Structure 1
């Protein structure tokens, strides 16, 4: 079990090897643990989970590793998306004893992954979800998530107006955007610089997430 960040509390009654790592743990934190781990429980934020999943991707361990998630954020997009408990005791019980239910893993063309919610906005440009024009002009926000309904891979929600405008929804395998420079946000982390082009797309392998009842 990975406790991510110095303020993440230890959970009682855990019969697991526990490792405390930094927030958004990187190569030095995660990689030494992977050869002995076929089941990881990540305790932290969506950004922490994404950082661990990125190491699994880089080390080609996605197909051989099961991931349970105990969020420390009651507003976790991952927990809402995949209907995971936010209560730590219930979340831990599920993460340890639940069934694997593979879910789409979303990548971006800057070398990162998206496990919960990505946002860009306000933004002006042209965006495509597969072959469909999802945006032409200005939008207040563009939000991308993995598809919770087992579709092609991801869901795009484009909100154009400032008030009382319902988002227009698209689904597909990829979303590509060309725009006046804007800063993408993924799993609560802002990209370090504005981007003129951005792509989110479904990876060829799914994330083996524990989310079903055993």
Structure 2
């Protein structure tokens, strides 16, 4: 009888110890345009969008100043998922980074908060209303002021602050920009975003991970 009780206690202890590991392995992070991500273990940024490249890989974009190639990517809202992706390439001139995601750890979503992304398109005409989704300030909208097709930039008044870097600028459900910076005062000064059609075109020209990107 004593041996039987000891065996039961040992079995119960084994099961209890195994539970947290099983839970961590099964955790999946839901990520989409505007989700909060931690890059390189230090920098809080926002995901621009998530989708697949021409090889079917699960990929996404954020701002290049969030972290360089090889930087780890974790989901801010789902730390139990562990490392969900890796920055594989950056372009500092266009301020974008390509992320390759671990499909076993990520559930892609086209909707985050008040933003849904179904396609990538050209910048919105001036003075059209555009919106942004960011991990810090959430869903905000404002007027598009100026489009620079030479340097692939857009300027406008949309609330931007630290942590919103990399977030999507949208016109309806069309992704038109990647949040890069703000001037003078957070949420008061003008913001600058990078034209998303230029980012996708350049990424496809370079080839490799991210080429031929299309949103989920």
Establish whether TM, by shorter chain, passes 0.5.
no
Task: Indicate the structure (1 or 2) with the bigger Cα radius of gyration.
Answer: 2
TM-score for both structures, normalised by structure 1: 0.27
- TM-score (norm: length of structure 2): 0.27
